[in-house]
Structure 1
Amino acid sequence: MTTQNLFDLSGRTALITGSTRGLGRAIAEGFGQAGAALIVNGRDAAKTEAAAAELRDAGLSVRAAAFDVTDEAAVEAVFAELDAEGVAVDILVNNAGIQHRQPMVELSLADWQRVIDTNLTSAFLLGREAAKRMIPRGRGKIVNIGSLTSELARATVIPYTVAKGGIRLLTKGMAAEWGPHGIQANAIGPGYMLTEMNEALTSNPEFDAWVKGRTPAGRWGKPEELVGTAVYLASAASDYVNGQLIFVDGGMISVL
């Protein structure tokens, strides 16, 4: 196998949750350019179809799958529909996520649960259904999107920190259980990225200066800078890599 073929995703189908914008959209585009057929996901049907149409216009093979990743019945129904159509998910990217910034003493149980369900429980639900199909085939790739907070905590984002810390160990658990069946489960820990979810932070001069000063690269990351690592973890190049979390953070987590 040539080096180029190691990263070729041709003939593979990838389901990327939360892929109508931001990091998920960038990963979907990268996978499509590497040859994968795409299943893009969002909760809003119109926005999901619009994103799929834009990717199709770029010459990629795409289908839209609008569903709530926290709804067990909806997740099961999507996989059942794919089964009925003969579509096998070879690559799953658990990217869907939300943020909620509030001191923990003021945090409601409902907001706590919403963040945990969206960022962590969804990865369990999607991962479980994907693995049920990957195990009989003897192969599959799962890429979970973690965070700097998979390793370190920051005030006012406790539910997110707990969820992303859970993603790190969920990834290891997936590797432990499913590795013997030819499945590799790994995670990516993005640093501070220029996404819609971070607009409140990027527009705050004090926080913007803190990120740039704290990061050896001296800047925020761009969504497309996650693509190389994502393609690597979804491809044959990572067939002996399992249970790992790779930080793509400009070096932030490595320095004091």
Structure 2
Amino acid sequence: MSLPIFNLTGKTALITGGSKGIGLGMAKALGKAGANIVIASRGEEDLQKAAEDIRSFGATVKQKQTDVTDKNNVNDLIDFTVREFGSLDILVNNAGRNIRKKLIDIEEDDWNNVLDTNLKGIFLTGQAAAHQMITQKSGKIINISSIFGRVGGSFQTSYAASKGGINQLTKVWADELSLEGINVNAIAPAYIKTPMTQGWLSDEKRFNEIVDKTMMKRVGELKDLEGPVVFLASEAASYVTGQILYVDGGWTAK
């Protein structure tokens, strides 16, 4: 028996950073739940491959090459989404990057690159989406944070700062937008196994350190994020806002 409150048929979901890894996994999950999908990222070739992947199971998808650090690009993306599908119901604000270095080795450009994408990009996309959703009097904004917005970790100075900022943006936006019919929440994963993380997760010492901190004694997989993103995007989460949902195998509960 299916639960209609999880059905996203007729809704439009925009996923930034949607051509790879976590973003693509979430785009596929929302597509399987019935949503029309728009994926955005900087790489045109990756977008083409991702769109073909999403179409392979019958979902409707459009792609748009976008730099989320550029306000005009972001505004064009929102306009494109509404033009193609008539509305913007769900934003998965996911585009991000990391540069792992010790504090004493971080260059100013490293800091700027990470904060521009992870925090400025989240802000610009969330702001543009909010303008559209306010006109609709409805919408779901799902910011993608990390456990490192809450816990410390070596080599994560700029990344952790950006993710802590995302957590605070999520709470502020939830407060501002709640009476506009817009829910704002965040998903904060621990380490997730993707093609991009597979290389350094194959380091036995690093892998064991991660597993030792996790109650469930395993690294997360893309399928572990499917339920959380569909839940927060659906009517099942209509009374949930301002929350940081940790998908971390129990890491932050220790």
Q: Deviations over 1:2-50 (max 9, x none)?
A: 9701111111000001111211111111101100000011211121022
> Which amino acid is the alignment partner of residue 173 of structure 2?
M
Shift of residue 200 of structure 1?
4.2
Q: What secondary structure sits across from 1:196 in the alignment?
A: coil
Counterparts of 2:188 and 2:83 in 1: how far apart (Å)?
Answer: 34
Unaligned runs of 5+ in 2: none
Mapping 1:112-191, distance limit 5 Å:
112-191=111-190
Counterparts of 1:206 and 1:7 in 2: how far apart (Å)?
Answer: 40
Counterparts of 1:67 and 1:95 in 2: how far apart (Å)?
Answer: 13
Counterparts of 1:83 and 1:193 in 2: how far apart (Å)?
Answer: 31
Q: What secondary structure sits across from 1:231 in the alignment?
A: helix
Residues 103 and 33 of structure 1: is their aligned pair in 2 closer, same or farther, counting only changes over 3 Å? same
* Contact map agreement 1:31 1:231 (CA 8 A) in 2: yes
Residues 83 and 10 of structure 1: is their aligned pair in 2 closer, same or farther, counting only changes over 3 Å? closer
> Which amino acid is the alignment partner of residue 107 of structure 1?
I
Counterparts of 2:100 and 2:81 in 1: how far apart (Å)?
Answer: 36
Q: Deviations over 1:86-142 (max 9, x none)?
A: 631110001111111111121111110110111111111111111101112111000
Mapping 1:9-88, distance limit 5 Å:
9-85=8-84, 87-88=86-87
> Which amino acid is the alignment partner of residue 4 of structure 1?
L
Q: Name 2:104's counterpart in structure 1.
A: 105
* Contact map agreement 2:14 2:81 (CA 8 A) in 1: no
- Percent of residue pairs bearing the same amino acid type: 37
Shift of residue 251 of structure 1?
0.5
Counterparts of 1:84 and 1:63 in 2: how far apart (Å)?
Answer: 11
* Contact map agreement 1:28 1:38 (CA 8 A) in 2: yes
Q: What secondary structure sits across from 2:111 in the alignment?
A: helix
Shift of residue 197 of structure 1?
3.8
Q: Name 1:202's counterpart in structure 2.
A: 201
Aligned length: 254
Q: What secondary structure sits across from 1:102 in the alignment?
A: coil
Q: Name 1:241's counterpart in structure 2.
A: 240
Shift of residue 57 of structure 1?
2.1
Counterparts of 1:200 and 1:52 in 2: how far apart (Å)?
Answer: 25
Q: What secondary structure sits across from 2:87 in the alignment?
A: coil
* Contact map agreement 1:99 1:197 (CA 8 A) in 2: no
Single out whichever of 214-223 and 199-208 deviates more from structure 2.
199-208
Alignment root-mean-square deviation, CA: 1.4
Shift of residue 80 of structure 1?
2.7
Q: What secondary structure sits across from 2:245 in the alignment?
A: strand
Unaligned runs of 5+ in 1: none
Residues 214 and 57 of structure 1: is their aligned pair in 2 closer, same or farther, counting only changes over 3 Å? same
Q: Under a length normalisation based on structure 2, what TM-score does the superposition of the two structures give?
A: 0.96
> Which amino acid is the alignment partner of residue 236 of structure 1?
E
> Which amino acid is the alignment partner of residue 183 of structure 1?
I
Counterparts of 1:217 and 1:133 in 2: how far apart (Å)?
Answer: 40
* Contact map agreement 1:23 1:224 (CA 8 A) in 2: no
* Contact map agreement 2:20 2:46 (CA 8 A) in 1: no
> Which amino acid is the alignment partner of residue 142 of structure 1?
I
1:215 is the counterpart of 2:191: no
* Contact map agreement 2:94 2:144 (CA 8 A) in 1: yes
Q: What secondary structure sits across from 2:19 in the alignment?
A: coil
Single out whichever of 171-180 and 50-59 deviates more from structure 2.
50-59
Counterparts of 1:63 and 1:29 in 2: how far apart (Å)?
Answer: 13
Counterparts of 1:9 and 1:81 in 2: how far apart (Å)?
Answer: 20
